[in-house]
Chains A and B, each alone.
Chain A
């Protein structure tokens, strides 16, 4: 059954999904090793998402150690932040847009060491696939 996007149960389901994914475990084995890999994914408000949502993902070395929604695009725990309007996230998750293309065009904002993020782009690709493959009820 689809879990509503933006809820705590969705965040926890995503964390469990990451931990169950051999694709993510392998692709992200070096992410967060020796640096703070905790990600803050910010889904900006737009026509389909009336209020912004900010997902803090405590990910390191191929594991997820917790996920929760927090307030604002800055969080002391976050090592990196990715911020885009919700509709752009949907385009990325549904394969109509590439995250690197969104970054290149400046439509997706990056907080933290952008080069470090790009050094592990395969890990982020696997993470996004896990988000895509989680049975989610997105706002329409």
Chain B
């Protein structure tokens, strides 16, 4: 038995597991790219457990990593020889304030559970990710973007207050008004300074029904014109889009014949409404110029937010959920987005649709106050993501294409969204955060003085003595 097992377990109300006790699924994350072996997995039962774990880790020089639903794809949500905090054990929905339209939740609550809990109040979080099977602490640590982000920013922009456990082992309440450095270095902070144990989230009233218009575009520029108009119109509640291939045959790409496609752009625009007061279709669609209006769908809003579940289920049944997921997501300046997307799609194999997809999302830069959710300058932005599921044996072959798409996006003024596959060197990390880098690192030194939290992803410029000793 590990000599630290008993002393660690003694301090906690939650459970401690050693390598012979925890499941192999905890060795990797959704990316299936990195496989690390933690020394302990801890399922905390209380915020105090998290405090005790961090203090114990400081005392014994152990790194601490946090794992929600493990949807990360880089070196997050896994641990190399340290303590992996399996945060889904902190899954209580604590309090709803109907007047203030807020809810208090523990960090390990899954968004789906919260949505279904809140429907009795006709309230919903302002921003929901496409995949609701992820935790609140997890997405707040990245930013959390979804089909309503063009109105409300990231999920991190809709946090009223949080309790966090710092890397120093202190339980601290922070908000945009109180302990602001801690708050803003935790939101989209990649778990570098603290662990979210409670969050108070801003909600909004939810109408019972949604109507979604399925439009199709054959031209990226016309699509972007309409996307911009839709964001500015003030009538849409959710905007979602993709790039969708129509296979045309094969052509040589770098000398190898591969299937190529003509890409189209589905654009789904959604309004919420109450039964008996349906939206005015003609007025809503009048300004838009799609290639074709394919379909109009009415759904209860609680089903709308789960609209991608059948697709995820299909991917799981097909086995691609277990493939490598090096998702390459980037936020582009409006001015370069169309050109970038055309250049990337021209040689992108439509096989990317097998267990994955290519996402587009129009966005507004000024909806976010987050200091560490980096995005390009400018009000109008375009998110673009290649989200493949790659059989492990083809990962090495695919990697240069995704790396090229990532580097090209940066050259064209884009900022990578950091939930996906990231392989930055130190200069690229610094360039990503720009003038925020020094502030981020100062927060790291201040709130996580031993550099214990979530090591292995964001590089340290200068290792702390404790980190050097661990290495």
Contacts and interface: CB of A to CB of B under 8 A. Distances in A.
Partners in one complex: yes
Interface of A: 21-23, 26-27, 95, 98, 100-101, 103-105, 114-115, 118-122, 125-126, 129, 132-133
Nearest to A125: B254
Contact of A100 (B252, B253, B254, B408): B408
Nearest to A99: B404
A23 B427 CA distance: 35
B340 to A, nearest CB: 8
Given A26-B251, A115-B336, A119-B339, A103 B411 contact: yes
Interface of B: 251-255, 336, 339, 343, 346-347, 400, 403-404, 407-408, 410-412, 425, 427-428
A129 B346 contact: no
Contacts of A114: 411
Contact of A101 (B339, B343, B403, B412): B403
B411 A125 contact: no
A129 B254 contact: yes
Contact of A118 (B254, B343, B403): B343
Contacts of A125: 254, 347
Contacts of A23: 251-255
Given A23-B255, A129-B255, A118 B411 contact: yes
Given A23-B255, A122-B346, 17 more contacts: A22-B251, A23-B252, A23-B254, A100-B404, A100-B407, A100-B408, A101-B407, A103-B407, A104-B410, A104-B411, A115-B412, A118-B339, A118-B408, A119-B339, A121-B343, A132-B254, A132-B255
A121 B401 CA distance: 13
Nearest to B412: A118
Contacts of B412: 115, 118
Contacts of B427: 105
A100 B411 CA distance: 8
Given A23-B251, A23-B255, A101 B404 contact: yes
Nearest to A121: B343
Q: Which 7 A-B pairs have the closest CB atoms?
A: A23-B252, A100-B407, A129-B254, A104-B407, A119-B339, A101-B407, A122-B346
A31 B412 CA distance: 18
Nearest to B335: A115
Given A23-B253, A118-B408, A121-B408, A98 B400 contact: yes
Contacts of B252: 21-23
Contacts of A120: 343
Contact of B255 (A103, A115, A133): A133
A85 B294 CA distance: 53
A100 B428 CA distance: 13
A103 B410 CA distance: 11
B141 to A, nearest CB: 26
Contacts of A122: 343, 346-347
A133 B411 CA distance: 27
A104 B428 contact: yes
Nearest to B425: A105
A95 B346 contact: no
A95 B254 CA distance: 10
